[in-house]
Amino acid sequence: MGLGAARWLVRNGGQENLSADPGEHAAAARDVTKTLVWGFRSMHLKAEVPNAFLADYVAQHRADAVGIAAVDPAEPDVMERLANVAGRAEFAGITISPAAQGFHPADTQAYKVYAFCAERSLPIFVEGGTDFAPQTVLEFARPHLFDEIARAFPLLTIVIAAMGSPWIGETVALLTKQPRVYTDIAALLRRPWDAFQALLAAHQSGVTGKILFGSDFPFSTAAEAIERMYRINEVTHGTGLPTVPREILRSIVERDALAELGIA
């Protein structure tokens, strides 16, 4: 099963305004079995993709869409908001972005979010947010900061988006070290050299089984992302560089990602 990670992002402060019609997403997801549709919420950036919007979309596409609700651990009422989305059938996990939300991953209030999700087997998807706006806090996007979280909550499933780019080495180390830490390749596939290096590092470290496929919609459709994945070794043509075995690439594309994450 392929996993298409879809997002609608709003970028303020003079940045790019990016949107996508729900119909476009439905069309773009035709080549995968299920898609994860991510929300976004940031008090720090004053921007959001409302969870209600996602819930409505998922309710209309129950056969092929799964909602990932956005919560902002920096908000005073985050636990109330978290309880509200956790009780809805449309959502099967949550997404946070320490850099875009302006909080350190080990913040006390964030720990309450992790504990809540660990108790309820809700996976947490960590968006880097390094390209959202100039106001994002880059030092909070470092993947290695989640080693502490994984140690404190060993049953919590954590997915680091885009292999933690630009700190891919830190993410590979986390995948090697922490059993319940995963990552996705989505956003990197539009940058073939970066994607190749990330996949090769994961392959040489023996952790490609923890990489999930994603389309990074609305930047790419699922079909475009699959094609880019299978063409990733083209960057090595005419060189003596090693390649990522095709069976590894196929295993990422065809992996039952929902089963890996414990999503029914």
Q: Indicate if the pLDDT at residue 14 is higher than 60.
A: no
pLDDT at 171: 98
- Mind listing the pLDDT tens digit for each residue in 131-190? 778 999 999 999 999 999 999 999 999 999 999 999 999 999 999 999 999 999 989 999
pLDDT at 32: 76
Of all residues in the chain, the percent with pLDDT exceeding 90 is: 74
pLDDT at 221: 87
- Mind listing the pLDDT tens digit for each residue in 37-80? 989 999 999 998 899 999 999 999 888 899 999 999 999 999 99
DSSP the chain: --EEEEE--B--TTS-B----HHHHHHHTTTSSEEEEE-EEETTTTEEE-HHHHHHHHHHTTTTEEEEEE--TTSTTHHHHHHHHHT-TTEEEEEE-HHHHT--TT-HHHHHHHHHHHHTT--EEE---TTS-TTS-GGGG-GGGHHHHHHH-TT--EEEGGGGTT-HHHHHHHHHH-TTEEEE-GGGGGSHHHHHHHHHHHHHHT-GGGEE----BTSS-HHHHHHHHHTGGGGGTTS------HHHHHHHHH--HHHHHT--
Q: Indicate if the pLDDT at residue 13 is higher than 50.
A: no
Q: Indicate if the pLDDT at residue 5 is higher than 70.
A: no
Q: What is the CATH class of 3-261?
A: alpha beta
Q: Where are the domains of the chain?
A: 3-261
Q: Indicate if the pLDDT at residue 215 is higher than 60.
A: yes
Residue 11 binned pLDDT confidence (cut-offs 50, 70, 90): very low
- Mind listing the pLDDT tens digit for each residue in 88-144? 999 999 999 999 999 999 999 999 999 999 999 999 999 998 777 899 999 999 999
